[in-house]
Structure 1
Amino acid sequence: MLKNTRLTTILTLSGLFLFFVFLASSLLSVIYLNRSAESLKNLNHEVSATLGVADTTNWIRAARTTLLAAVPYADGSNPEAFNAALAQARFYYDGGLRFMQAYQAAPKMAGEAELSRELAARYNDYTQQGVGALFTALQKRDVPAFLMLAGTKVVALDEAYRVPLDKVIAIHKQSAVNITQQADTDTHIAYVAAGVSVILFILASVIVAVGLKKLLIKPPRR
C-alpha cells in the first residue's frame, strides 16, 4: 500500500513537473517567435518606407530625363512625339508627388518629424520652382530657357533636396538594421527555449524511469 502511494505521488509530481516545463518553454518559444514575426513585419514596413521616400527623387528625375527627350521635338517637327514625352514626364512627376504624399502621411520615427518638414519644403522647391518650371518652358517651346534651368537651377534644387532625403533614408536604414538584430535575437531565444524543453523532458523521463525501476524492481533477497 505504501509502495503504491509513493509510486502515485512520484508519478503525479513527475507529470506536473513535465507539464510546467513544457508550458513554460512553449510559452517562451511562442512569445519570442511572435516577437520575431512582428519584427519582420516592421522590417518590411521600414524597407517599404525607405524605398518609397527614395522613389520621390527617382520619379522626378525620370520626369526630367523624359522632358529632355522632348526637346528635339519642341520645334514642331513631331507634335505626337513631343506631346507623348510631355504626358510621360507628367506621369513620372505625378508619381513622385504621390510617393511624397504617402511618406508625409505615414507615422514618423523619433527625430524624423523635423526632417520630414524640411524634406517637404525642399521637395516643393524642387518640383515647383525646378521641374515645374521645366514643364512651363517646354510648353512655351522656349528651349534656351529650358536648357538653362535644367543645367543650373534644377541641378541645385536636386542637390539641396538630397541633403534631407539622405538623412531620412539613413534613419530608416538604421531602424531596419536594429529590427533585424532584434528579430535574430528573438528567434535565437525561441530556439534555445525549445531546445531546453526537449532536454528537460528527456532528463525528467530518465529520472522518472530510474525512480520507477527502483520502486518496482526489488533486488532478490539472499
Structure 2
Amino acid sequence: MPPLVRNALLLAAGFAPLYRERPLDDPELSAARQVVETVLQGHEPFPALAVDRHWQLLAANRIVPLLLTDIDPALLQAPVNVLRLSLHPQGLASRIVNLSQWRTHLLARLRQQVETSADPVLLALLEELRAYPAPKPTTSSTLPGAHLDVAAPLQLTSPVGLLSFISTTTVFGTPVDVTLSELAVESFFPADSITAERLRQLQQDLPSPC
C-alpha cells in the first residue's frame, strides 16, 4: 500500500500519519535529490525528467529544454504539467508524429492512476486531456521505432530531424517519505541508431560542463 494511502487511512481513523511529506528541495531530502540529479544527468544525451504523482515537472536534464522549442510559453510556466505539455494543441502535440498512438498510451496510463487512487486532481487532468481535439489515427509502420511491440514509441519532430523513443519509469524502491514514494523518473531511450546520433548532434548545442 503506497505511503500516501496509508497516511490517508490513518488520518481517517483518527491517527497521526506515519510518513512525512516534504518538498524535494527540503534539506533532509538532499541525498535523494542528488540521486535524482545523477540519474537525469547520467542519461544525457538522451532526455529524462522527474515528475510527482500529478505529473508536475520536478526536474529535467539539459536535453529536455532543447526539445521544447516553439511551445506556448504559458505551458512552460511553473508548475509545468508534463501530460498537458505533451497533449495540448499548443504544446508538443503538433510535433508528435504518432500523436493518436501516444495520446492513447498516456490517457490509458492516467486512467489507471485515477482508478487506483481516486485522486480528484488526476481525474480533473484526465477530463481536461480528453477534451483536447482527438487526432486522426495514423499509420506509423514506416517510422523508426514503429516496429516495437514491447512499448509504445514516441515519435517527435525536432530541430535535428525525427526522433523515435521508448520510455522507462524509475521509482525509489524503499521510500520512507510520501514525496519520494510518488516521484518517478521518466527516461527516454533512442529506438534506433539514427535517433541516438541526432541526439548527440543536439547535445553539441549545450555548453561544456564546468
TM-score scaled to structure 2, two decimals?
0.29
Structure with the higher helix share, 1 or 2:
1
Highest relative contact order (Cα 8 Å, sep 6+), 1 or 2? 1
TM-score scaled to structure 1, two decimals?
0.28
